[in-house]
Amino acid sequence: MKLKSFRDADFWIFDLDNTLYPRTANLFAEIEKKMTTYVMNELNVDFKRANFLRDYYWKNYGTTLSGMMQEHKIDPLPYLYEVHDIPLDSLTVDPLLVKEINKLNGEKIVYTNGSKFHANRVLNARGLTDCFHQIYGIEDANYVPKPEEGAYKQIIKLADVNPLSAVMFEDEPKNLEVPHKMGMQTVLITDEEIEDSRHHITNNLTNFLLKLNELLNEN
């Protein structure tokens, strides 16, 4: 791990889903079910077609919402509320993660393609609310999703972030492309075997931060 890039960091930007909680919580699967149901009802199509469109829009527009807005002109607010209104029983407080995030020096930010409503609920369930100075949802990027460059530029402007002294944590490799090009240090959280020299790669955010903080304090 190259420490200098982290030692100079003033901004720590975290994705939310499958980043600030483990993928094993299976939360996004519940969100996807709600998305498919919303598409079924909004477009009056069957489950198979709705599920196909949910996935197709996510792959081609960045989010299902973006595809629905561009192709069908839906109102984003009812959609966001509906698909993120899910039980959070699978989430628990992680005291060690709270401790390690609080050790990081600088501005700590959450930026998600989900809604701010969803982010606040998840952070509360994980005991992380007080760890972060700023929270941004897709509505703050004018509903333009990651990985679109314009979305990052909008959030960077709102948050007053210098990309050259920022670190971005994400579980989606495609969402780290633009931050890396902007000069951010990028950390990919994944259980998959991926080799990519551009990013730091870990399968456990808590353990990564624990090791990072230990190294920073030693040197």
Residue that terminates a domain, selected from 83, 100, 128: 83
The pLDDT, as a whole number, for residue 2 is 61
How many whole angstroms separate alpha carbon 101 and alpha carbon 29? 26
Q: Read off the pLDDT of residues 14-35 as tens digits, 9 standing for 90 and up.
A: 999 999 999 999 998 999 999 9
Residue that terminates a domain, selected from 83, 104, 125: 83
CB 140 within 8 A of CB 109: no
Structure tokens at 16: 């939310």
Q: Are 58 and 165 within one domain?
A: no
Mean pLDDT of the chain: 95
Q: Are 193 and 114 within one domain?
A: yes
Q: Are 39 and 11 within one domain?
A: no
Sheet arrangement for strand 134-136:
134-136, 107-111, 11-14, 166-170, 185-189, 200-202
Q: Are 120 and 149 within one domain?
A: yes
Q: With 60 as the cut, is the pLDDT of residue 1 above it?
A: no
CATH assignment of the domain containing 152: 3.40.50.1000
Q: With 70 as the cut, is the pLDDT of residue 135 above it?
A: yes
Q: With 60 as the cut, is the pLDDT of residue 62 above it?
A: yes
Q: Are 207 and 108 within one domain?
A: yes
CATH assignment of the domain containing 51: 1.10.150.450
How many whole angstroms separate alpha carbon 207 and alpha carbon 201? 12
- Tokens 């007053």 found at: 160
Stretch (H or E) spanning 61 = helix 47-61
The pLDDT, as a whole number, for residue 70 is 96
Q: Are 74 and 141 within one domain?
A: no
Contacts of 45 (CB under 8 A, 6+ apart): 39, 53
Q: Read off the pLDDT of residues 115-132 as tens digits, 9 standing for 90 and up.
A: 999 999 999 999 999 999
Q: Are 198 and 98 within one domain?
A: yes
Q: Are 112 and 10 within one domain?
A: yes
The pLDDT, as a whole number, for residue 3 is 61
DSSP label at residue 94: -
Q: Are 120 and 15 within one domain?
A: yes
Q: With 90 as the cut, is the pLDDT of residue 202 above it?
A: yes
The pLDDT, as a whole number, for residue 173 is 94
Question: Mean per-residue pLDDT for 166-185?
Answer: 96
Stretch (H or E) spanning 167 = strand 166-170
Residue 9, strand partner residues: none
CB 105 within 8 A of CB 12: no
Instruction: Please give the tally of structural domains in the chain.
Output: 2
CB 81 within 8 A of CB 49: no
The pLDDT, as a whole number, for residue 184 is 96
Q: Are 146 and 177 within one domain?
A: yes
Question: Mean per-residue pLDDT for 143-166?
Answer: 97
Q: Domain limits at 142?
A: 3-21+92-218
Q: Are 172 and 136 within one domain?
A: yes
How many whole angstroms separate alpha carbon 84 and alpha carbon 182? 30
Structure tokens at 21: 């909680």
Q: With 70 as the cut, is the pLDDT of residue 141 above it?
A: yes
Residue that terminates a domain, selected from 40, 66, 83: 83
The pLDDT, as a whole number, for residue 197 is 77
Question: Mean per-residue pLDDT for 148-156?
Answer: 98
Question: Mean per-residue pLDDT for 210-216?
Answer: 93
Q: What are phi and psi of 45, to 5 degrees?
A: -125, 165
How many CA within 13 A on the CB side of residue 192?
7
The pLDDT, as a whole number, for residue 143 is 96
Question: Mean per-residue pLDDT for 26-55?
Answer: 96
The pLDDT, as a whole number, for residue 113 is 96
Question: Mean per-residue pLDDT for 70-97?
Answer: 96
Question: Mean per-residue pLDDT for 172-193?
Answer: 94
Q: Are 79 and 117 within one domain?
A: no
